[in-house]
Structure 1
């Protein structure tokens, strides 16, 4: 049974720094759809790239890795309502039809609404992506301009067909007001994001802030083997600024390629542009001095934290190179 894997695809740089608000791993879900006869709508929210299994069939026909509706034999179109994992300002969509070659929709449009309690009776839907032409087996990147905060989107496909993956990229707008709660202030679901990095040859640093432990070595930040002096680094923004009480550095699945040491620098700064932070980050004071790493291990630090000052951004230094699965910054909002 031959399996084909989706070809590698790299997002535009400006979108790479955004969060996929429709990620199953942070609580996104399909709450209703018009039809998913051939393939469940929830499949299009999966994190992993789609695959094509040549000889795989089920009771309804050819198994497809995505959402696929039956052939429509009357007027109308198909749709799916997605609850975003976190509320946010939507900046771009990726409507991916990979492996849908003769069964992709002719076009698609997207509406969005703000319904934090999930009540759609009196809600107003706004079209944020007009009806747009789709093609076979490819990523379709659509950038949108809106400053409104949304909790749900409705994907309309015309008239029917299949979508392999749907990504909804934006800025998390979750506001946590409990200043006594201990939170991972860097977590994806709390608004953490990647600003810049030295290298991401084998794995992107955005994986550092994903929920849960890494599922394999590909679910982490891993750089190429360094053949020159220096070390690798990445800059991350906390979802909300706070005081850090515990740091966790997890090297899960990294056994022959974990870093020799890791250090963390930190700063509190307001209204800074991302490009401005990059050259300044090398001078930030240390939150955690370089610590020796072990393979496949969660390293916890509390007494070693050097400051209780307010922190908004960190720089993780991976010395000299290698891979880290997760970084957690446990603390309180200040």
Structure 2
């Protein structure tokens, strides 16, 4: 499962009753919350969402618009560094409101059918707490109520993106984009930066926004497994080493497979026997490398790929351009 409320997937705050001390958008970040002993014009700076103290008997809430229609299985509520200013409780509702602009949604907020995903539940300060979702219906928006006020460092909603059937009609799209449902399954190493970063659409903002492994001190190479949202045929590949200069991967290759029913654990072992899609290719520092279909060793449908980097190092983005297909003919 992935964090479908991540700002990296396009999720955003479209309304909040209050964010006097700290903006609600901060809690949608993937990074771990930090503590800094500094102050701004409103008070102590906090890495999360923090409202002012309520004196009217009510409670604060915010509305999150998910980057993609999603089904949610669980939540992680992180109050790290919020000790004397955390909410006593939280509740979460969701609704499905497709194709409506943000302003209209806010104006009609009470007219939508809101499903209870998490009933009012107690929170503790400076702690990560996990909660199950009561409903796994398709959701576009979340309403997060905190009681009565206070701060949350990070908010995560784990589930799956609902595949957009319109993508079947499109050619030469990045089928390895996290916004199109691709996800990082496993990597043997991501010491400096996580594998999932290479699935972002936007160019990397720095070296930490890519995938980087530790320095290898033994024979072998590093690798990571990616699952696509649906079967796809790959036509061309782009590997970007942007910002990686003294630590870029020397070369890369990709293996692939078509797996109808499998688990993440079994995929790891199976990947040793996958068919090569593109053989080992040299890379250069701080550069986008394009490989057209003349480099590809087959045009078979695939559901999973394993990207191998030799011997170690980093890449900032991996893009696989092609087309999603509905079924594989026998």
How does the TM-score come out when normalised to structure 1? 0.89
Q: Secondary structure at the match of 1:51?
A: coil
Quote how far apart the aligned CAs of 1:156 are. 0.7
- Identify the residue that residue 320 of structure 1 maps to in structure 2: 311
Aligned match of 1:279: 269
The answer to whether 1:125 aligns with 2:88 is: no
SS class of match (1:239): strand
Q: Is 18-27 or 100-109 further displaced after alignment?
A: 18-27
Distance in 2 between the 1:24 and 1:54 partners? 25
Query: Would the aligned equivalents of 1:39 and 1:64 in 2 still touch at CA under 8 Å?
Result: yes
Q: Is the 8 A contact 2:118 2:134 kept in 1?
A: no
- In 2, Cα distance between the equivalents of 1:98 and 1:147? 27
Q: Distance in 1 between matches of 2:232 and 2:154?
A: 35
Whole-Å separation in 2 of the counterparts to 1:180 and 1:31: 29
Which digits, 9 at most, give the CA deviation of each residue in 1:271-329, with x for residues without a partner? 22222222121211111100011111111101212222212110111112111211111
> SS of the residue aligned with 2:93?
strand
Q: How many angstroms does 1:74 deviate by?
A: 1.9
Q: TM-score, normalised by structure 2?
A: 0.90
Q: Does 1:301 find its partner at 2:291?
A: yes
Structure 1 gap segments, 5+ residues each: 1-17
Mapped contact 1:114–1:150 kept (Cα < 8 A)? yes
> Residue 53 of structure 1 aligns to a residue in which SS?
coil
Within 2, Cα distance between the matches of 1:307 and 1:179? 22
Cα deviation, residue 122, structure 1: 4.2
Q: Which residue of 2 aligns with 1:109?
A: 91
The one of 66, 82, 92 aligned to 2:64: 82
Deviation of residue 78 (structure 1)?
0.9
Q: Secondary structure at the match of 2:208?
A: coil
Spell out structure 1 runs of 4+ moving beyond 4 A: 119-122
Alignment of 1:46-195 (within 5 A): 46-58=29-41, 60-118=42-100, 119=105, 120=109, 122-144=111-133, 146-177=135-166, 178-195=168-185
Question: 1:194-232, CA deviations, whole angstroms, 9 ceiling, x for partnerless residues?
Answer: 122212222211111123122222222222222222211
Question: How many corresponding residue pairs?
Answer: 316
**Structure 2, unpaired ranges of 5+:** 326-330
CA-atom RMSD in angstroms: 1.8
Give the secondary-structure state (helix, strand or coil) at the position aligned to 1:65.
coil
For residue 311 of structure 1, what is the aligned residue in structure 2?
302
Q: State the 1:332 CA deviation.
A: 1.2
Partner of residue 218, structure 2:
228
Counterpart in the other structure of 1:12: none
Separation (CA, whole Å) in 2 of partners of 1:46 and 1:108: 19
| Conservation of the 8 A alpha-carbon contact between 2:115 and 2:135 | no
Higher helix share: 2
Corresponding residue to 1:258 among 232, 242, 248:
248
